[in-house]
Amino acid sequence: MANQQVGNVRGLPVVGYGDQKLAEISADGANTVTIDSTRRIRVGDNIDIINKTTGAVLASARQVTGLTSAGVLTYSGGDVAATPGTHAVYVGGTGAPVGPVGESGGVTESQVFDLQLGNILQLRSWLNSYNATTYSAAELDKMTENDMVYAVRALSSAGSIR
């Protein structure tokens, strides 16, 4: 349901880590990867290169600096060794989820109230870590991004939202 309720430029669903995948990697080179589809990637986009199985981030916050019609994607930053079939190109910022507000490595309260959580995965992670029963994957799939932002705000500052 959330997929239909929250729109975005690329037409990417908002639920599920794999749903943010832009392309499969078929070859690796020096600051380049060859990808199977260029349809949803443009020069200037921010991307992450992530292990499809484990979710381990190989490269984050890289900018696409070149893209050929043959699918050769050039990225900024240091070179990484992407493994074809193991790693894929994802929407930038979909890396490892963060913990709840106030926990080491988590989002800050000001980020929550400024609505700067960054992406749907961070919202899902925060809510699930707060209460995995109430905010199970099945329940989170029913929520829009706005529902999740409201829930995070309400839970992190109980009594302040009327």
Q: Which pLDDT belongs to residue 58?
A: 92
Q: Residue 15's closest CA among 121, 109, 126, 92?
A: 121
Half-sphere exposure of 51 (CA within 13 A, CB side): 8
Q: Which pLDDT belongs to residue 156?
A: 66
pTM of the model: 0.51
DSSP letter, residue 153: H
Domain ranges for the chain, please list them.
15-91, 109-155
Q: What is the pLDDT along the chain (162 residues), one digit of tens a residue?
A: 344 434 444 444 444 444 578 899 999 999 999 999 998 888 988 899 988 888 888 998 899 999 999 999 999 999 999 999 999 998 887 554 333 444 434 444 444 444 444 567 777 777 877 788 888 888 888 888 788 878 877 776 655 554
User: 92-134 pLDDT, tens per residue?
Assistant: 875 543 334 444 344 444 444 444 445 677 777 778 777 888 8
Task: Give the three-state DSSP class for 50.
Answer: strand
* Structure-token pair, residue 45: 């986009």
Q: Which pLDDT belongs to residue 81?
A: 96
Can you name the CATH fold of 15-91? Answer: Elongation Factor Tu (Ef-tu); domain 3 (2.40.30)
Q: Which pLDDT belongs to residue 94?
A: 57
Query: Is residue 27 within 8 Å of 68, Cβ to Cβ?
Result: no
